[in-house]
């Protein structure tokens, strides 16, 4: 998709599809008023018909309207002008992008300059236009014999407000497009079946990313190399599978080598049966999504490289398959992690934390400024937040506050849970330094408590995306979250 800025009278703009907002209660925006005059009150006629009244997210298509150069005119409801905050503006843009994608227009112009958002500046809106257009164009057909028809849209432009800096808007379009593409990349990896997206497949994806970007290097550690490093916890998860585990380490260099990196660590369980602690059969197919944390990390690093951010980032993926083979880890087994801590595995279905703890220990060698791990870790997070929020826990209040703010800015929101010392005792073991589960209560918190034992010297945050990473039901598929949150964080950081 190509994006640009086009100024001038919108009624004269030679575009295949023109998008303008209309406020609720049949109130025309500045752009709509201009077109209404040029078209001989065609827009007023639509409002009088009752077919459209400006309700937020409502759209209507006018084909070849008189007096307007555009082949198609899409009116999109902006709702109450006083209530057009970022969340409502995003709904407006999503509805408009969806309406455009359903036409045969190969190009479109979004004339939204009068849509003043109560809590954002105009460049945020233009970035959202690019991000949402990328999103509506995503189709999964990698494993289908017949490829689905993709939207015709190939380019889009936006109107600049009076006095706006074109460079700022250009940058916002570029950023929005890059984030949209990264979200789609994460969705694609998450949607692939477990027999395709194996640990080796994820490793190859990371290596391909390095091939495409000179600023990225990728190293893949084999099971033998991990064994030499003492990663007994991670290797205990893959013990029952014929698929070899991989520790994938991607480094992006956008700043001086002396600049400490920001670390991202992703859980990459490419299929999770639960191991010997076998999951129920119903819905187990969705356990292919248990690598969505890894998908978000790979996609985010690719986005960082595309935007050439002036920072260093190290992204680590702990990839494994959790299967109940004859060599699988058993409940009650005790393993030694890379940190030297011993772990009593009371439940083999609490495997995400077992791969993450060794990856977090490995990340320490890069002396990161911060470490953020991303994982589809606990069903308790789903029970607590549903699909709306990412669960956030952290040992650093400043980092947590920054991530919460980035979630609000990107609309990929998180909510913080406590990481109090009182929860740590739930992980006590009679036979090892720590147990891998803490009982039936506070599951999301005790899982984070487990990880905190391996990040005691780091500024660390944990994002549990078990509820937000994918949708079930008729709309089953990966969401690409929390790529936009992670990118918002990295965009605001300095070398």
Query: CB–CB of 343/335 below 8 Å?
Result: yes
| Alpha-carbon torsion angle 326, 332, 333, 339, nearest 10 | 140
Describe the crossing of helices 122-136 and 166-191 by its angle, rounded to 10 degrees. Answer: 30
> 3-state class of 412 per DSSP?
coil
Instruction: Round to whole Å and give the CA distance between 24 and 79.
Output: 5
Instruction: Round to whole Å and give the CA distance between 205 and 211.
Output: 10
Instruction: Round to whole Å and give the CA distance between 220 and 200.
Output: 9
Cross-strand bridge partners of residue 263:
314, 371
Active site residue 82: no
Q: Which of 279, 330, 341, 459 is catalytic?
A: 279
Backbone angles phi, psi at 84, to 5 degrees: -80, 80
Buried b (16+ CB within 10 A) or exposed e, 77-109: bbbebeebebebbbbbbbbbbbbbbebebebbb
Q: Is 207 exposed, middle or buried (CB count within 10 Å of its CB: 0-12, 13-18, 19+)?
A: middle
- If one counts every other C-beta atom within 10 angstroms of the C-beta of residue 441, the result is 10
From residue 341, alpha-carbon distances to 317, 400, 421, 454 in Å are: 21, 26, 19, 9
Q: Which of 181, 246, 267, 353 is catalytic?
A: 353
Active site residue 72: no
447: its two tokens: 């899982």
**Maximum pairwise Cα distance, the chain:** 83
> 3-state class of 194 per DSSP?
coil
Instruction: Round to whole Å and give the CA distance between 189 and 180.
Output: 15
Instruction: Round to whole Å and give the CA distance between 72 and 63.
Output: 5
Query: CB–CB of 195/34 below 8 Å?
Result: no
H or E element in which residue 227 lies: helix 223-228
The catalytic residues are 279, 353
């Amino acid at each position: 998709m190509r994006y640009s800025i086009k100024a001038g009278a919108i009624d004269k703009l030679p575009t295949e599809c023109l998008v303008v907002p209309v406020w609720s209660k049949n109130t025309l925006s500045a752009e709509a008023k201009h077109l209404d005059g040029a078209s001989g009150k065609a827009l007023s006629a639509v409002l009088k018909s009752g077919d459209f009244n400006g309700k937020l997210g409502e759209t209507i298509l006018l084909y070849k309207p008189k007096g307007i150069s555009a082949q198609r005119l899409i009116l999109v409801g902006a709702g109450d002008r006083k209530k057009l905050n970022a969340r409502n503006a995003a709904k407006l843009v999503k509805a408009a992008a969806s309406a455009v994608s359903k036409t045969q227009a190969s190009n479109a112009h979004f004339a939204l300059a009068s849509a003043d958002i109560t809590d954002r500046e105009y460049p945020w809106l233009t970035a959202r236009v690019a991000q949402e257009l990328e999103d509506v164009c995503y189709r999964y057909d990698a494993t289908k014999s017949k490829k689905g028809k993709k939207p015709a849209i190939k380019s889009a432009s936006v109107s600049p407000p009076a006095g706006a800096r074109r460079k700022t808007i250009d940058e916002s379009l570029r950023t929005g497009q890059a984030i949209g593409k990264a979200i789609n990349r994460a969705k694609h990896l998450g949607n692939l079946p477990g027999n395709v997206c194996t640990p080796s497949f994820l490793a190859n994806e990371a290596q391909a990313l390095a091939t495409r970007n000179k600023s990225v290097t990728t190293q893949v550690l084999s099971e033998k190399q991990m064994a030499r490093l003492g990663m007994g916890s991670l290797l205990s998860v893959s013990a029952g599978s014929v698929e070899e585990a991989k520790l994938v380490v991607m480094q992006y260099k956008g700043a001086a080598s002396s600049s400490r990196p920001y670390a991202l660590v992703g859980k990459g369980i490419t299929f999770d049966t639960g191991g010997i602690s076998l999951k129920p059969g119903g819905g187990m197919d969705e356990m292919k999504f248990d690598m969505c944390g890894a998908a978000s990390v790979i996609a985010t690093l690719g986005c960082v490289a595309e935007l050439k951010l002036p920072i260093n980032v190290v992204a680590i993926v702990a990839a494994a398959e959790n299967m109940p083979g004859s060599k699988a880890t058993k409940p009650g087994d005790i393993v030694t992690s890379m940190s030297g801590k011993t772990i009593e595995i009371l439940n083999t279905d609490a495997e995400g934390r077992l791969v993450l703890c060794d990856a977090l220990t490995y990340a320490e060698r890069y002396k990161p400024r911060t470490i953020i791990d991303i994982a589809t870790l606990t069903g308790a997070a789903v029970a607590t937040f549903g699909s709306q929020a990412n669960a956030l826990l952290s040992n650093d209040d400043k980092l947590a506050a920054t991530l919460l703010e980035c979630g609000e800015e990107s609309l990929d929101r998180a909510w913080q849970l406590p990481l109090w010392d009182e929860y740590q005792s739930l992980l006590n073991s009679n036979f090892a330094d720590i147990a891998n589960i803490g009982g039936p209560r506070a599951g999301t918190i005790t899982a984070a408590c487990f990880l905190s034992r391996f990040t005691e010297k780091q500024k660390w945050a944990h994002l549990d995306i078990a509820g937000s990473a994918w949708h079930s039901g008729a709309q089953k598929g990966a969401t690409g979250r929390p790529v936009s949150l992670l990118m918002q964080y990295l965009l605001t950081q300095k070398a």
